[in-house]
Chain A
Amino acid sequence: MPMFVLVVNDVQHHVRASSDMPLLWALRDLLHLTGTKYGCGIGVCGACTVHESGIAVRSCQIPLSATSGKRYTTIEGLSAEGNHPCQRAWLEEDVSQCGYCQAGMIMTAAALIQRKPNLSDAEIDAAMSDHVCRCGTFQRLRRAIRRAAREVSKT
C-alpha cells in the first residue's frame, strides 16, 4: 500500500493507505482527528469541510492521491486556543444546536471572511447554502458570520 505524507494542522503525518481513500476517512480513522464529520460522502452536505492551502474544500471528495504537496487545516487546527473570530462569534451568537454540521460551517465561513471580510448577506447565504444544517441554525449563523467578518475587517 502506498505511503502518503499528509500535512495537517502544521504537522506532517505518514499514512499508509489506498490511494483512493478520501481525506475525510484518513483524518478520522487514521489520524483520529474526528472534528471533521461524515455527513453524506458525496460532497453535498459540507460537514467534512477543511481548508486546503486556505481554501474550503470537501474532504470526502479528495482522495489521498490528490493530497501531495498540500497543507490541510481542520477544525482542530483552526486556532491554537479555539479563539478564531468564527469560533468566538459562534459562541457569542449561541449558534450550535446538535452541533454536528458546525465544524464544516465554521471552516467555510473562516475561509470566506478571510478572503472577503465585507460580505453582503446574499454572499453569506450563497456560500453557506452548500451546507446542510438539519437543526436550522441559519438565523444565528448569519449573525455569527457577520460578527466574525466585522472583527476580521477591523484587524
Chain B
Amino acid sequence: MSSTRRAFLKTSTLVATSLVIGMELPESLAGKVASAFEPNAYISISPDNIVRLWITRSEMGQGVRTTLTMMLAEELEANWSNIRLEQATPGGRFKDIRLRTSGSGSTVGTYDALRKAGATAREMLIAAAAENWNVPASACRAERGTVVHVATGRKLTYGKLAAAAARQRVPDNPPLKNPKDFRIIGKPLKRIDGHGIVTGQAVYGIDVHVPGMLYAVMARCPFVGGKVASFDATKALAVRGVRHVAPVKSGLATGVAVVADHTWAAMKGRDALKVEWDQGPNADFDSDHFLTQMQDQLAQPQDGYFVRDDGDARKVLGSAAKKLEATYELPFQAHAPLETMNCVADVRKDSCEIWAPTQCPEVVQSETAKMLALAEDSVKVHITLLGGGFGRRLIADYAHEAVEVSRAIGKPVQMLWTRSDDMRCGFFHPCDVEHIAGGSDVRGRPIAWVQRSIGSDLSVVPYPTEEQKKNPRGYFNEGLPWGSFDNPYNFPNLKADFIPLNSPVPTGPWRAVFYPSPVFARESFLDEMAHAAEKDPLEFRLHLLEPGDVLKVGDAKIDRSRLIRVLRVAAEKAGWKRPLPQTGDRLWGRGGACNVYDEDCYIAQVAEVSVGAEANDVRVHRIVCAVDCGLVVNPLGLEGQAESGIIWGLSATLSGKIDFKKGAAVQSSFTDFEVLRMDQAPAIETHIVASDHPPGGFGETAVPPVAPAVVNAIFAATGKRIRRLPVSLQEATCSGCSINATARSQA
C-alpha cells in the first residue's frame, strides 16, 4: 500500500526493505547456540526446539509482540509454546529493517516481510527433512514445529532439523499459505507476553537498573522557549544522596539535572535547587488569546495551503439556496502516558549503551551518535516495554537528556521525568480551529462544501519540512490536514485549505495525529446539515456516499462502499431507529460518526448519551463501533484497540485539554488534566466486518469518530450544539447556525 500520510513519520533510512537473508548470529546468542538455524534476521531455531523470533516494533499496548509473532508463526508452522521473543535493536542485522513504531503501521508494514520470513524458514526445514528421508520435498509438510512425511507419518522436529536446514538453499520466493489455510492469523489470541505484566516482572524503561547507575530528575524551564538564566546548586548538593548537579540543554525544555543515589534524593535535590529562569520571548503566551488569533485567520480572503479543490465550491456556495456555516475549536492536548518519559544511558569513552522506552530507536541511535561523535554502530539501543506511547515516544528528547547527563558525570544514569514534567514540558497535540460552510440546492441536496483548517505544523518532527512547504500543493501531497483532504463524501463542489498558525508551543504527533480535529468538524457539520435539512443524519451520510464508488484523492483510494457497510452495521447493531429508554430527569440521545483512516481502515461509531440537569452532566453509556480494516490478524487485539481508542477519544472529548497562561502550561497532573476513569467508561461493542482486503492498521483508527459521535448524540438529546472541546454544555450555542434547539431523537 502506498500512503504518504503514514510515510511522514519515517526517516530516510527507515523504509522497510526486502528481507535480509544472512547467517549473522544475533549478539544475544553468539557463541551460545552454534548450530542454530537462522535463515533471516527474524528467526532462530535451536536444537532444543526453541524458536526465537525477533520483534521489530515497540510494544506499547497495541499488541505488536503478539501480532508480529502470529504472522511469523503462521507461515513458519511454529509450535506456539516453543516460541521465545527477542526485541530487535537498531543496527547489526536489523540495519535495513524498520523498527520505528508509528502511524498505526506495524501490521501493514510487516505483514508481507514476516510471512515471507516464516515461509523461508519453513521451506528450508522441509528441504532438510526431505533430504534426510531421501524423499521429494513435496511429499512432506510442516506442522506445529515438525516436518511430517505424509505417506509414512515419519516426523522430525524443527530442533532436530535445525543444523541441516541451515545448509539448504535459501528460496527466493517461498510459497505463502492461502489465507483460508491460516490457523493462527485471524484467530483471537491473548497477548503472548501477558504473564510478565500481571506478575510485575515485565521491564519498562523506568525499571532498568544497570550496575553503578545513578538517578536523575531535572528542574525544567516551565516557559515555552525559555531557558536557565542562572542556578545555585549549593542547597541541592547538600541533600544527602545527591552527587551531581548539571545543566541540560539537549531536550525540549532546558533545565538543570540533579543526580543522586536514588530517585527520592534527586527529587529532594531538585526541590532544593535554586534556578532563575529566563522566560524568553513567549512569556506572555496565552492559549485563549492564541485561539482568538486563529479565529481571526478564518476571514483571510486568500486561499491557504491547497488541500483539495473539486468543482467550484466557493461560487456554488455563494448561489446555494440554503447555506450553513459553523466553527469548531479544539485545544492543546497532552499525551500523558502512565509511564512518564525516562531513559537509562551509559556513555563510555568509545561507546554508549541506552535503554529506552521508545517508538523511534533508530533516531535515538543516530542522534546519540551525532551528539557523541561516535559511529552509529558504537551506540547500542535496547528497547524496553513502553508504558504507553501514543506518539509521545516518537521524539527522542528524553534519551538525549540521559546521554547528556551520563556524559557529564561519566556514569550510567537514569533520567526520569516527574508527572508534572511530563504534563508541562513535553510536546503537545496542536490546538485547531476548523470552519465549514455548506450549501444545498432548492431540493435540499448538499452541493457545496468549503472547509478551512487553522492549525499548526508539527514542530518537533518537523512536519511539514521547509522543503515541503515550498511546494504550493505540498500540503495536499503530504495529506495534511487528514480528514479534510480525504473527505469521503460526494460533494460535487468541495474546497479545503489549510492555514498554519504556529505557536511557540512544541507540537507533535498524538494518537491519530492530524485526524481528530478535521474529522470532529466534518462529522459534526454533516450532522448539522442533516438536521437543517430535516434528514436522518445516518441516511444523510449514506446518501452522500452513494453510489459506493471509489474516490481517488491524491494517491489515496477511498472505497465508499466499505464506509457505507460499516455505517449500516453500526446503525443496525446500535438499534439506530429504536427509541432510547427515557429515565427520569435525563435526556437521552444517539449520535453517529464515521471516518476512513489512511484509506485502508473504515470505521463507524454510534454513541448513546444522556444529559442531566446538573452542570455539564453528560454520561456516555454505550458506543457501538463497526470496523472494516481488511484482514484482521488478531480480532481480540483489534477489539482491545477499539476500546482503547474510544476511551482515549472520550477523555479528549469530555475533559482533556492543556491551557497555557503566561507562557507556561497550566495543567500538571491527573488532578487537573482529567482522563476518563472506569466509572465514566461506556459499554463498547466492536463489530468486525469481514473483509478480503489486505490488513490495515488499527492503533489509532477508533479515536477520530468518538468526539463527533458524542456531540451529535448530545445534540440529539438536548438540541445543544457543542462546537468546542472539551464539552461544556454551558458554552453550547446555536449561533452561526440556522438550526433551532428543538431537534430531539426521542421518537
Contacts and interface: CB of A to CB of B under 8 A. Distances in A.
Contacts of B204: 37, 100
A136 B207 CA distance: 23
B206 interface: yes
Nearest to A33: B200
B194 A28 contact: no
Interface of B: 60-63, 190-191, 194-195, 197-204, 206-207, 209, 215, 240-241, 262-265, 267-268, 336-340, 385-390, 416, 418-419, 636, 640, 643-648, 650-651, 669-671, 675-681, 683-684
B338 A100 contact: yes
7 contacts: A18-B264, A25-B264, A28-B207, A76-B200, A129-B679, A136-B676, A139-B683
A18 B386 CA distance: 31
B197 A102 contact: yes
Contacts of B669: 40, 42, 44
A97 B338 contact: no
B712 to A, nearest CB: 21
B190 A91 contact: yes
Contact of A142 (B62, B198, B678): B678
A32 B262 CA distance: 11
Contacts of A94: 190-191, 194, 636, 640
B212 to A, nearest CB: 14
Contacts of B387: 37, 98-101
A91 B195 contact: yes
Contacts of A78: 199
Given A38-B206, A94-B191, A98-B387, A140 B198 contact: no
Nearest to A89: B198
B199 A35 contact: yes
B675 A134 contact: yes
A137 B200 contact: no
Contacts of A101: 338, 387
Contacts of B418: 41
Contact of B679 (A39, A90, A125, A139): A125
A136 B681 contact: yes
Given A134-B338, A139-B684, A99 B195 contact: no
A30 interface: yes
Nearest to A104: B338
Interface in A89-112: 90-92, 94, 96-103, 106
Size bracket, chain A contacts: 35 or more
A52 B385 CA distance: 28
Nearest to A132: B670
Contacts of A4: none
B247 to A, nearest CB: 24
Main secondary structure of the interface of A (DSSP, over half): loop
Contacts of B684: 139
Given A34-B206, A99-B387, A129 B677 contact: yes
Nearest to A30: B262
Given A44-B669, A44-B670, A96 B201 contact: no
B643 A99 contact: no
A71 B237 CA distance: 34
A142 to B, nearest CB: 7
A137 B338 contact: no
Contacts of B267: 41
A126 interface: yes
A152 B116 CA distance: 47
| Most A-side CB within 10 Å, residue of B200, B267, B669, B680 | B200
A141 B644 CA distance: 12
A138 to B, nearest CB: 4
Contact of A97 (B199, B416, B640): B640
Nearest to B337: A134
A102 B204 CA distance: 13
A47 interface: yes
A10 interface: no
Contacts of B215: 29
Contacts of A87: 198-199
Contacts of B199: 35, 75-76, 78, 82, 87
A21 B264 contact: yes
A39 B338 contact: yes
A65 to B, nearest CB: 13
A47 B647 contact: no
A101 B339 CA distance: 8
Contact of B61 (A22, A82, A97): A97
A140 B419 contact: no
Contacts of A136: 643-648, 650-651, 676, 681
Contacts of A96: 61, 191, 194, 197-198
A100 B388 contact: yes
Given A29-B262, A132-B675, A139-B683, A99 B197 contact: yes
A1 interface: yes
Nearest to A145: B678
Contacts of A59: none
A94 B646 CA distance: 18
A25 B418 CA distance: 13
A134 to B, nearest CB: 5
Given A29-B262, A96-B191, A142-B678, 20 more contacts: A20-B268, A42-B669, A45-B670, A75-B199, A91-B195, A97-B61, A98-B61, A98-B387, A98-B389, A100-B387, A106-B198, A128-B677, A128-B678, A129-B679, A132-B670, A134-B337, A135-B388, A136-B647, A137-B643, A139-B683
